[in-house]
Structure 1
């Protein structure tokens, strides 16, 4: 364990690294699917977007969200990020986000 980094900060950094790795792996899988079956991929992404938008607003969808405000925030972030992904992939309904540049 690194003595210069607190345990709490180290856990946050681990989660950040995990997200970065999952994002890269997901993009690689999406790029492969885009080459093999682009029409089906567009549909799968859109269905997933709709499911997440509705799901995060339900109290039992995820255990870590404690209030309606948290659920609404995560639902809107998921919506924004999936719309950004759709834009990156050139799919209908996509909206560019500031993170992409």
Structure 2
């Protein structure tokens, strides 16, 4: 696995995550404008609600940390899927 770009990507995440917009995304905005936002069901659980770490609060650091956690989870899932595909193709 080649991780030469890892430091650059990590630096970009740390520098750019606090600049993320606090405004709702397009779908949420339309639901709010039309008036059915509250009619939707909320998720049964939220691991990283609103891209923040719950015990830290909604700060720039919390957003950065949530981004790193999310990226590591996705990386872990991709590694597991890749290994399982490699094992199944070898047998």
TM-score range, shorter chain: 0.3 to 0.5
Greater relative CO (CA pairs within 8 A, separation 6+): 2
TM-score, normalized by length of structure 1?
A: 0.31
Q: Tell me the TM-score normalized by structure 2.
A: 0.34
Radius of gyration: which is bigger? 2
